[in-house]
Amino acid sequence: MSDYNFAYLDEQTKRMIRRAILKGLAVPGYQVPFASREMPMPYGWGTGGVQVSAATLTPEDTLKVIDQGADDTTNAVSIRKFFENTAGVATTEETEKASVIQTRHRIPEAELSEDQILVYQVPIPEPLRFLEPRETETRKMHALQEYGLMHVKLYEDISQHGAIATSYAYPVKVAGRYVTDPSPIPKFDNPKMNMAAIQLFGAGREQRIYAVPPYTEVVSLDFEDFPFEASKADHPCDLCAAEDSYLDEVILDDAGNRMFVCSDTDYCRSRRDAGHMGRLSEEAA
């Protein structure tokens, strides 16, 4: 291990973050202000998630970091290395083997268990921010459960596009009380938020932490006549033939050819290892 304190942050900072996490768990979906620190990475690269992970990790943990579902992108690799260096924890790419999973903008396809913790990186934690820029006002709106504006926004989607066009960061109501930003996960992932694992959310630049305890009711906002729909590209994965996973679209050439591939790289790899073949498996091999 290195000369850093365990998991990089000093103990007093970790205590401050830990107290915020506990209040976040006690009031599910409510954004707890915290004194976010400068981290050795730029805002937008997961400084909030990194601070929450640092306060949560123990030396025995196995950490997995994903960026849009992938274990091998720059952001995921650098955060994984950061904690290998500063906390000396084991790391993995396999969802089932991880005890703490830090994620940017996806929930893994494999169902998470009670012993796992999912840490989200959050850019804008306030779901009402683009409707009302003033923090003083959004605080009052949450206090009074004044969420009509959000329904107006979803209604305007329907009036303009014929359907609710919001496709990511789709607002949810947690435990019947707070309207909460699920971070920019695709709305395909929203139903998975009713899970057995502990969900923690960290927004570094915006200095907010919030949480969803296990088995907490998380409802995506909708209307009776326009019910919420967890949509994805209507395609099987071209590498593993999965019909049930969220897909990325990849442009292959200038002639308009494209492929769809699982966004969750670990899920796709484990299916291919198990012998599943997609449309383009032959070429990829």
Partner 1 sequence: MTAQTSNSHFSGGFRDPAIQSSHVFRAAMTAMARPGEIKPITGATPPEGLSIAAGCLLLTLCDPETSLYLAPDVDHPAVRDWITFHTGAPFVPAQDADFAVGGWAALTPFDRFRIGTSEYPDRSATLIVELPSFDAPNAELSGPGIKTRAEITLPDIEVLQANAALFPLGFDTYFTAASDICALPRSSRIEPLLMKEG
Point out which residues bind partner 1 (CB under 8 A).
5-7, 11-12, 14-16, 18-28, 30, 32-33, 55-59, 139-140, 142-144, 175, 177-178, 196, 198, 211-217
180: left (phi over 0), alpha (psi -120 to 50) or beta: beta
Active-site residue, selected from the candidate residues 29, 46, 49, 69: 29
* Closer by beta carbon to partner 1, 35 or else 163: 35
Query: Quick one: CA dihedral 271, 272, 275, 279, positive or negative?
Result: positive
C-alpha to C-alpha distance for 282 and 115, rounded to whole angstroms: 38
CB of 7 to partner 1, least distance (A): 7
- If the CB atoms of residues 69 and 125 are measured against partner 1, the closer one turns out to be 125
Instruction: Pick the closer one to partner 1 by CB: 196 or 251.
Output: 196
- The label of the residue with tokens 């396999």 reads 94
Distance CA 217, CA 221 (A): 12
Q: Which residues contact 37 (CB under 8 A, 6 or more apart)?
A: 9, 13, 51
Residue 74: strand, helix, or coil: helix
- Supply the minimum distance, in Å, between the C-beta of residue 10 and partner 1: 9
Compute how many other C-beta atoms are within 10 angstroms of the C-beta atom of residue 109.
21
Helix axes 47-56, 11-26, angle to 10 degrees: 100
Residue 228 Cβ vs partner 1, minimum distance, rounded to whole Å: 21
Based on DSSP, count helices (H) and strands (E) in the chain, helices before strands.
7, 12
Minimum CB separation of residue 193 from partner 1 in Å reads 12
Q: How far is the CB of 32 from partner 1 (least distance, A)?
A: 5
From 46, 49, 202, 237, active-site residue: 237
Could you confirm whether 268 is annotated as catalytic? yes
Is 29 an active-site residue?
Answer: yes
Cβ distance to partner 1 smaller for residue 147 or 260 = 147
| Residues 142, 180: Cα–Cα separation, whole Å | 10
Q: Which is nearer to partner 1, 16 or 112 (CB)?
A: 16
Nearer to partner 1, 106 or 142 (CB): 142
Query: Which amino acid, residue 222?
Result: D
Residue 215 beta carbon to partner 1: minimum distance, rounded to whole angstroms: 5
Among 24, 202, 204, 262, the one annotated catalytic: 262
**Which secondary structure element, helix H or strand E, spans residue 78, and what is its range?**
helix 74-86
Catalytic residue among 24, 46, 268, 278: 268
Least Cα distance to 10 among 32, 45, 39 occurs for 39
Q: How far apart are CA 39 and CA 68, in angstroms?
A: 21
**What residues act catalytically?**
29, 237, 240, 262, 268
